[in-house]
């Protein structure tokens, strides 16, 4: 239990789980999201807990060969494979605004962090009205001093998770779905993220890449 809520965490592997962590939360799911077979295994582990109220797609890498898989393919696959929760939350970044709409980059090896964050933002907004009873939002947590953000990051570390927590636990969010948020304030995302044509092409390409339909 955490703040009155049952929380299930995800960790890349069991070496990252301490006894304190395991004791504090309802459960811990393990799997490296850089590999599609392990993403499928993560989904199977999640199914053992039943339907979630909220799923937060928080994992991310800044650069390297796993950027597309971790930042875009993993949230897509997990969305497709896990029983649809009441609320979906996807971590974006202000850097998504300079991402490319060239979806050939999904498989070319040329994709940047900015590209992957544009794509996952478009995925979040595409899911906003896709399933009855499921809402979906994208969140920019800000430039916070995590291992990825570095010690020089200018945003407050504690504020980095507050919007996700708020979206996960409050019933009076407006709009109830399809928002792009920064510190609990609505922001305007890259125009392509809201374009139905781009969302459709993205989902089709991800379906082809993964062999898994979004449903």
Question: Hey, which residues are catalytic here?
Answer: 113, 117
Distance, CA of 77 to CA of 35 (rounded, Å): 11
Taking Cα atoms as reference points, which of 124, 119, 122 lies closest to residue 90? 124
Residue 45 to residue 27: CA distance in whole angstroms: 10
Distance CA 116, CA 103 (A): 10
Q: How distant is the alpha carbon of residue 104 from its chain centre? A: 21
Q: What is the DSSP letter of 2?
A: B
The closest of 194, 165, 214 to 96, measured between CA atoms, is 194
| Length reported for the chain | 215
């Amino acid at each position: 239990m955490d703040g009155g809520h049952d929380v299930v965490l995800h960790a890349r592997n069991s070496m990252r789980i301490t006894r304190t962590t395991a004791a504090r939360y309802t459960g811990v799911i393990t799997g490296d999201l850089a590999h599609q077979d392990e993403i499928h295994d993560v989904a199977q582990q999640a199914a053992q807990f039943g339907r979630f109220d909220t799923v937060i797609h928080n994992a991310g890498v800044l650069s390297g060969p796993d950027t597309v898989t971790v930042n875009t393919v993993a949230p897509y696959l997990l969305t497709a494979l896990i029983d649809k929760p009441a609320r979906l939350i996807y971590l974006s970044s202000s850097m998504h605004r300079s991402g490319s709409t060239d979806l050939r980059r999904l498989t070319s090896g040329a994709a940047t962090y900015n590209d992957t964050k544009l794509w996952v933002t478009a995925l979040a907004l595409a899911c906003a009205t896709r399933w009855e009873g499921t809402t979906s939002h994208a969140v920019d947590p800000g430039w916070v001093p995590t291992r990825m953000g570095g010690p020089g990051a200018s945003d407050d570390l504690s504020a980095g998770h507050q919007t996700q927590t708020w979206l996960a636990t409050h019933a009076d969010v407006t709009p109830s779905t399809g928002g792009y948020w920064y510190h609990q304030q609505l922001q305007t995302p890259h125009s392509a993220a809201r374009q139905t044509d781009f969302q459709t092409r993205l989902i089709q390409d991800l379906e082809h890449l993964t062999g898994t339909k979004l449903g």
